[in-house]
Amino acid sequence: MKELTLYLDDLTPGQLSMKRLAEYLRALSALYGSEDSVHFDSVQVGSAQLKSFIEDKAFPVVMNQVREVSGGLGKKKAITAYERLSELMAADRTGASIRSEGAQIFQFPSVKNEEPPLRIIKPSSIQGRLYSVGGKDETVPVRIEGADNETLHCEAGIEVAERLAQVLFKPVRVHGDGEWERSCDGAWKLVKLKISTFTKLEDVGFKEAVARLKAAGGVNWNDVSSAHSEILETRG
């Protein structure tokens, strides 16, 4: 028998639930292969060490498979197991390595400790086509289709939700406290907006909108002697 151990650097045996241990062992068994010749021994103290013994005849086969997978080669089942182990380690935020008799066979890629995205809450307004108002709780989920066909997630109290339901499938502008998240590239994305008030918008075409603006009148700059100065003064 030859010993082969998975060292989970940032976990102790007491932090591993039986379910989590089983998930690690299932993936580890698939990674090693030669299932009938691989025997789990114990979880050692210190960092959690999942210790196994490999029968002598199968040890070279297992070692070759482990080394191939770590280099991006090998059987599809073993590669899938390697990816599953990496997912478990990332979720548990732990580094890991496989060793034999204390000698390191290979090191799993280290887990990146990414900072959580920045979130802020501020008064916000968004607009789009209201297409969903529903739910059975006091806070009612509301969905609005944005200009790029994206779904804008909102919520409202029962009273506001009842009034929103009367303008379902119509364009609206909603106001309230919006929760925004900044991505790694600096762009802000709406996570959720809690609607306090809203306005139904008229579904007017561009030509009609321009005609209405003309009909409403405005400032005739031709009658102003110093239009540029007037504009600057108005802007403050």
pTM exceeds 0.85 for this model: no
Going by C-alpha positions, the residue among 150, 154, 148 that lies closest to residue 173 is: 154
The helix/strand/coil state of 135 is coil
At residue 217, the pLDDT reads: 65
At residue 223, the pLDDT reads: 61
Query: What is the third-level CATH fold of 2-107?
Result: Alpha-Beta Plaits (3.30.70)
- What Å distances lie between residue 8 and 24, 52, 72, 75, 85, CA to CA? 10, 14, 21, 24, 11
Q: Where in the chain is the domain with CATH 3.30.70?
A: 2-107
At residue 219, the pLDDT reads: 55
At residue 53, the pLDDT reads: 92
What is the gyration radius of the CA atoms in the chain, in angstroms?
31
At residue 202, the pLDDT reads: 82
Going by C-alpha positions, the residue among 83, 77, 5 that lies closest to residue 43 is: 5
At residue 231, the pLDDT reads: 61
Question: Which residues in the chain show pLDDT less than 70?
Answer: 111-115, 204-206, 209-210, 212-214, 216-236
At residue 124, the pLDDT reads: 97
Range 82-90, long-range pairs (CB < 8 A, 24+ positions): 82/31, 84/27, 84/30, 85/24, 85/27, 85/28, 85/31, 88/20, 88/23, 88/24, 88/27, 89/8
What CATH class is the domain 119-216? Answer: mainly beta
- Kind plus residue range of the DSSP H or E element containing 159: helix 158-165
Q: Where in the chain is the domain with CATH 2.40.50.140?
A: 119-216
Residue with tokens 């029962």: 158
